[in-house]
């Protein structure tokens, strides 16, 4: 069962590893990222950030879609981490059970504007967020579990 889908450019780090997994009761983290799936050094670094007792799986976005739709992940309380709004859109287009996406962190770079303390979007990101919203997916910005969530559509 998917407990949370989170967009965070840092993927797995302290906030996610400890705050979110504890609050959600997560027993498995799925990192859906094409670059990570091909980079053994990055995979090793991410394994070091994994909380003890929690399974960590790293797959490409397409392989993640296949796994999620096959039912093989149904036995887990799953936290899905993705790096970008674009990957969130790819995942949500092909995995119908995704009903909410949490936006946690996206750094401010050229051609992006800040919509919260830790999340920045491009025009393309805004377009994809609107498409996901139109599909009925709730989009929230929330850095940590104990802060109130904000509706992304009010910010873009």
Q: At 153, is the secondary structure helix, strand, or coil?
A: helix
Tokens read off for 116: 């919260």
Buried b (16+ CB within 10 A) or exposed e, 86-107: ebbbbbbeebeebeebbbbbbe
Point out the residues that are catalytic: 13
* HEC secondary structure over 89-135: HHHHHHCCCCCEEEEEEECCCCCCEECCCCEEECHHHHHHHHHHHHC
Q: Per the structure block, which two tokens stand in for 56?
A: 């960590």
């Amino acid at each position: 069962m998917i407990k949370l889908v989170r967009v965070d450019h840092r993927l797995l780090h302290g906030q996610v590893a400890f705050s979110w997994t504890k609050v959600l009761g997560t027993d498995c983290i799925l990192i859906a990222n094409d670059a990570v799936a091909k980079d053994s050094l990055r995979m090793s670094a991410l394994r070091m950030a994994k909380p003890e007792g929690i399974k960590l799986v790293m797959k490409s976005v397409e392989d993640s879609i296949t796994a999620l739709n096959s039912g093989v992940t149904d036995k887990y309380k799953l936290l899905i981490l993705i790096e970008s709004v674009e990957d969130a859109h790819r995942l949500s287009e092909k995995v119908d059970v995704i009903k909410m996406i949490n936006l946690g962190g996206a750094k401010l770079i050229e051609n992006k504007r800040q919509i919260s303390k830790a999340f920045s979007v491009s025009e393309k990101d805004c377009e994809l967020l609107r498409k996901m919203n139109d599909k009925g997916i709730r989009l929230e910005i929330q850095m940590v579990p104990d802060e109130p969530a904000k509706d992304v559509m009010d910010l873009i």
